[in-house]
Structure 1
């Protein structure tokens, strides 16, 4: 039996361990993203690792969460993140540049690549066939500094989509239905992998919406095939 899409990506990025569900492996990370709510600590941790440049193909720092300037704290955080981006070769997106997971999908996501982000909706990138995983700031800092991420091999939860959506329904209805069936814990320990002839009728935006809300299932990530 052949490997699923997610397992193929894990296999192509495998640095250490075996692809056995529940076993810990190290995988190569192609891209990272942070946002300003989590980025300050991530870049403080990156500085402590004493590196010159990030080891990923590209890393991105977004300012999109704490952009209301009522005090000096947010502004100081933003200046620090910008200085870290300049120092380590990280692409910086200033306040007003857009929401991290959406801009990353539009501008940087690549089918078959891996993305590790310190934002819970990083899995939005799965709408383009990218293995996009949300993680803690320290884990993202390690990925930037060393280029790898340790994770326990998830199981694959395959969702077979049939037919097409009627005019009165949209992609959010699909993921809300799945949440209703599986609950907010139903995806824990799984990668939600969507397949079937119904995929063809969904736009990238539709697929990204479903992957975005896979976080509400507790899933490691969600992914659609790229066509």
Structure 2
């Protein structure tokens, strides 16, 4: 019986010739990730185990991105604890204010993840790195601690769903629209503990930023991970960047999938997820002339804070102005993206349009800081979740969309397709 891409990565790291869905395995890790919220819990477990070293100080990454620059005393204490741990154990990949970025934008950029890698992270959106042909998944802080100590963890090998992508994306349709369309079709538990494997000739038309966005939101369909095949776009991205040795895995022709879907990219439309689940999707055509008035637009996050996302938003905003009463917050994913956007003149466009540009942070996405919603307020956001109270008050509302839709909505003051500007 053949294996899927994910199963091949897991088998290789477990030292096995083959693995099957449902099998329990122990596998060696290439990277263990934590952030300023999850790392302190893992450190407490680490110390409770009376561990006195990490398995490899080059294979642990800690990124201070959620509440930094520190928003309050508790956030400062959390970062202090992680900072001291990183110093004590000489953690080579510790990223703090001034060199940090949103973790799932930063690690690919730094070349810490790549084809064939096996990565766990104490953050649910660790599945992002599947865009590079890695098996990456979120775990709890206890598993993070065990991973830091042993360099290994256990997995139940996931079954898989195959998504055959055909065609090419039309103007104003992006990776965000692809994954929102898929989640709208299969639901937030449609891929529960399964691997979402993306394949087909349509993959080559997706940029790396599109793929990172799609893999990032695999968890919003309940998936264990999302993964793309390695191709020339992947190879070009990791060239002179990836610090490891790339290993390319492809699914066997007789690999077993629980389900298969074909997605014609050319037929997709800009898509918005209405409150309070990512599966509650409507295309801009289905929204029609219904006016959903917004108070805030957020363009950024580990889902859509990359340079192509900022360029798309700037293309919409150029020569226009944010609607009166609307706050528009732009958050580049990393310091390098921040610099690139600045040098390209995107900041001029954002500021002249009446938006603000933030340092890289997860801030508003999880209701942490830099854009909290008050009671009754509505936001259109390029983030990944729109659960009750996710970005602030439990009576606020979040509408998930692409950077182009978020920017267009900021201009009109209600959810709008960029095609209408």
User: Which residue of 150, 165, 168 corresponds with 1:164?
Assistant: 168
Question: Secondary structure at the residue paired with 2:166?
Answer: coil
Comparing 12-21 with 203-212, which one deviates more in the overlay?
12-21
The alignment status of 1:45 with 2:45, answered yes or no, reads yes
The alignment status of 1:102 with 2:96, answered yes or no, reads no
Contact 1:15–1:25 (CA under 8 A) maintained in structure 2: no
Contact 1:171–1:209 (CA under 8 A) maintained in structure 2: yes
Q: 1:55: which partner in 2?
A: 55
User: Which residue of 96, 113, 116 corresponds with 1:112?
Assistant: 116
The alignment status of 1:21 with 2:26, answered yes or no, reads no
Aligned length: 227
Question: Secondary structure at the residue paired with 1:98?
Answer: coil
Contact 2:195–2:227 (CA under 8 A) maintained in structure 1: yes
User: Which residue of 192, 215, 218 corresponds with 2:219?
Assistant: 215
Q: 1:173: which partner in 2?
A: 177
Cα distance in 1, alignment partners of residues 211 and 72 from structure 2? 38
Gaps of 5+ in 2: 232-421
> Over the residues paired in the alignment, what is the CA RMSD in angstroms?
1.8
User: Which residue of 198, 201, 205 corresponds with 2:205?
Assistant: 201
TM-score (norm: length of structure 1)? 0.93
Report how far residue 54 of structure 1 moved.
2.0
| CA shift in 2, pair 1:70/1:20, >3 Å | closer
Contact 2:70–2:76 (CA under 8 A) maintained in structure 1: yes
Cα distance in 2, alignment partners of residues 89 and 149 from structure 1? 22
User: Which residue of 143, 155, 159 corresponds with 2:159?
Assistant: 155
Report how far residue 3 of structure 1 moved.
2.3
Comparing 14-23 with 49-58, which one deviates more in the overlay?
14-23
Q: 1:128: which partner in 2?
A: 132
Cα distance in 1, alignment partners of residues 85 and 115 from structure 2? 28
Report how far residue 17 of structure 1 moved.
11
User: Which residue of 93, 96, 118 corresponds with 2:95?
Assistant: 93
User: Residues 86-125 of structure 1, C-alpha deviation per residue, up to 9 Å, x if partnerless?
Assistant: 2223221113511011101211111101110001111111
Report how far residue 85 of structure 1 moved.
1.1
User: Residues 11-46 of structure 1, C-alpha deviation per residue, up to 9 Å, x if partnerless?
Assistant: 101158972222221111110110111111111112
Cα distance in 2, alignment partners of residues 143 and 42 from structure 1? 10
Contact 1:129–1:225 (CA under 8 A) maintained in structure 2: yes
Cα distance in 2, alignment partners of residues 94 and 69 from structure 1? 11
Question: Secondary structure at the residue paired with 1:161?
Answer: strand
Question: Secondary structure at the residue paired with 2:44?
Answer: helix
TM-score (norm: length of structure 2)? 0.52
| CA shift in 2, pair 1:170/1:212, >3 Å | same
Cα distance in 2, alignment partners of residues 65 and 142 from structure 1? 23
Report how far residue 168 of structure 1 moved.
2.8
Comparing 214-223 with 59-68, which one deviates more in the overlay?
59-68
Question: Secondary structure at the residue paired with 2:226?
Answer: strand
Gaps of 5+ in 1: none
Cα distance in 2, alignment partners of residues 203 and 139 from structure 1? 32
Cα distance in 2, alignment partners of residues 16 and 226 from structure 1? 22
